[in-house]
Amino acid sequence: MCGQRVVSRKRAFTLIELLVVIAIIALLIGILLPALGEARKSGRVTICQSNMKQLGVATQSYTADYSDRLYAFTISNKSYDLLAYADLRSVAQNGDALRCHSAQAVDIIRRRTGRDDFELPDAWIPDVLYTHLVLQDYLASRLPEKLVVCPEDKNRLLWQSDPVAFANGAFIPSPNPLSSRWPYSSTYETNAFHYAPDRCDNGPGVTQGGQHNQYQLLGDAGEVLGRRKIPDVAFPSQKAQLYDIQCRHKGKAQFYYGYADAVCPILFYDGSVTMRRTGPPTDPIENGVRIPLDANPGCDPSRPTSPFALLVNYTPDTWETPIRGGGTSASFPGFYRWTRLGLKGIDYGGTEVKIPGT
């Protein structure tokens, strides 16, 4: 036995065993990936609702500090000296109310970005889609700020990443026409009655324009914007303050909030944030009374006594969600964008408030 070598052999996997292991791993990945995707999606919903919640808390704090006033553009040709930049003070001193509000919006952008060369856009009504800038200024935010953008709003997040490159046309898709103010826009729209009168049939105010992203000013509207107060809200737990006009958290593809199956996050004036379904424009009627299941259909503030809802013509730009089934436009009731009786009205949880005499 002397000098004899003992050779030990280590057992290796056979080809069939390796294939079985690979198949098991692939099966586990197939099972886990959808679950991980759903977890990430739930996380983005949570972030979106948290954004809105923080803006709701800031709203309450703002009203407490400013004698119940709701945040809005308020600079006039009598208070132009509050602006930090001489050229903007000159614009506000010699301009009408809307020009003063534009100067205030640009003043905020310059101070909160350090971009002293940011130009004042022509024919701009900042109240419509940029009222949130006033609240961001109150919070001393550095702009652009992700707080006002849903994590599913990939386009705005991209624009925020480099506002100068955006203004030079570096990002596609982008709004047409291109404007340097878009990186400072928000996913969440402030309802128009937050800064405008509840109705404009007998006076100045704001109503819908020809398309979903256009608004119409009636009368000398600039003189009455920015004067609303928190006590004007009659049903704070039922009136939408901030909302997203795109359904981003339901289904595989994003779509417009006007579709009946859209479920979007909404900040109410009591500070609560919930995911609410838009629902159909008509609900069941029992004993002659409409039983609201989802959002009330709203009205046209220029004709608030009409029983019919104002129809919003959704004509998406290249960066917005397309029309289902193709096409270039589709019409939907305004719902909580145009609440009947404005801040005195109800969006969810009750029938629309009737106007006396109707």
Residue 224 belongs to some domain of the structure: yes
In this prediction, residues 182-189 reach a mean pLDDT of 98
User: pTM for the full model?
Assistant: 0.87
Hey, what are 313's tokens?
């013509």
Instruction: Single out the residue of 226, 129, 146 nearest to residue 182, CA to CA.
Output: 129
Q: Would residue 275 count as lying in a domain?
A: yes
125, part of any domain: no
Is residue 242 within 8 A of residue 52, CB to CB? The reply is: yes
Asked whether residue 220 is assigned to any structural domain, the reply reads: yes
Mean pLDDT for 146-169 is 97
CA distances from 73 to 36, 102, 185, 270 (A): 43, 9, 15, 22
Unique residue bearing structure tokens 């994590």: 151
Q: How many CB atoms lie within 10 A of CB 296?
A: 26
Per-residue pLDDT reduced to its tens digit, 278-294? 987 666 666 666 656 79
Place of tokens 């991980």: 36
Task: Name the domain count of the chain.
Answer: 1
Asked if residue 81 belongs to a domain, the reply is no
Determine the structural domain holding residue 244 and report its residue range.
39-72+131-344
> pLDDT tens digits for 86-121?
999 999 999 999 999 999 999 999 999 999 999 999
Angstrom distance (rounded) from CA 155 to CA 138: 26
User: 355 lies in a domain?
Assistant: no
Q: Computed from CA positions of residues 42, 46, 48, 52, in that sequence, does the dihedral angle turn out positive or negative?
A: positive
65 is a domain residue: yes
Check pLDDT > 90 for residue 21. no
